Amino acid sequence: MAKSTLSLWLRSVGLAKRQKQRLTEKKRAGQLKGAQTKREQRILLSEKIKNEAAKEVGKISKRELWLIGTALYWAEGTKQKESNPSQKVRFSNSDPRMIKLFLKWLTEICSIPLENLNFEIYIHETANIEEAKKYWSNILKLPLSKFQKTRLKKHKIKTNRNINKDYHGLLAILA
């Protein structure tokens, strides 16, 4: 029998509340599955683009590192103020790649010895501070003793951002 015929005959027959609920649940499950698939595709594409870009860029010259570090400081670094001309260089970020690059710029281009650099972790008071110290120590291959200065953020967190297991605070480098 044709679907159109059945549709005409059964048009006035409604679905039970439980049947409607089940259809809604199935629809939602399908949406979530589709969204997850799209997310995975987006992540794979991003990784592919990053890998291709890294190959294309290759080794960075000293001049390029000088330019990149200068731009990073210009964009993310704390600048001297007329009212405080003795302020130190300070660079803050939560992205370990940015921190590593800026640290490389300070040590290789600016010739600042590691022992002259200080580090501060800005982190929510509800986060695992000791794990954050270990994380930054491991990422930068520096002793834990370099990460003793911690500033706590005490405001109430109103989002799910910055409270998961991947949250390690924001690291500031002071030169």
Q: Per-domain residue ranges for the chain?
A: 17-58, 62-174
**Residuewise pLDDT in 10s, the chain (175 residues):** 899 998 888 888 888 899 999 999 999 999 999 999 999 999 999 999 999 988 888 888 999 999 999 999 998 888 777 777 777 788 999 999 999 999 999 999 999 999 999 999 998 887 888 899 999 999 999 998 888 888 777 766 565 555 667 788 889 998 8
The residue among 49, 87, 55, 91 whose CA lies nearest residue 70 is: 91
- When computed from its CA atoms, the radius of gyration of the chain, rounded to whole angstroms, is 26
Instruction: Report how far apart the first and last C-alpha atoms of the chain are (Å, whole number).
Output: 81
Look at residue 57 in the predicted model and tell me its pLDDT. 84
The residue among 90, 169, 106 whose CA lies nearest residue 134 is: 169
Look at residue 166 in the predicted model and tell me its pLDDT. 77
* DSSP per-residue letters across 40-104: HHHHHHHHHHHHHHHHHH-SPPHHHHHHHHHHHHHHHEEPPBTTBTTPPPEEEES-HHHHHHHHH
Look at residue 167 in the predicted model and tell me its pLDDT. 84
Look at residue 91 in the predicted model and tell me its pLDDT. 92
Beta pairing partners, 81: 84
Look at residue 171 in the predicted model and tell me its pLDDT. 92
Beta pairing partners, 151: 122
Helix (H, G, I), strand (E, B) or coil at 175: coil
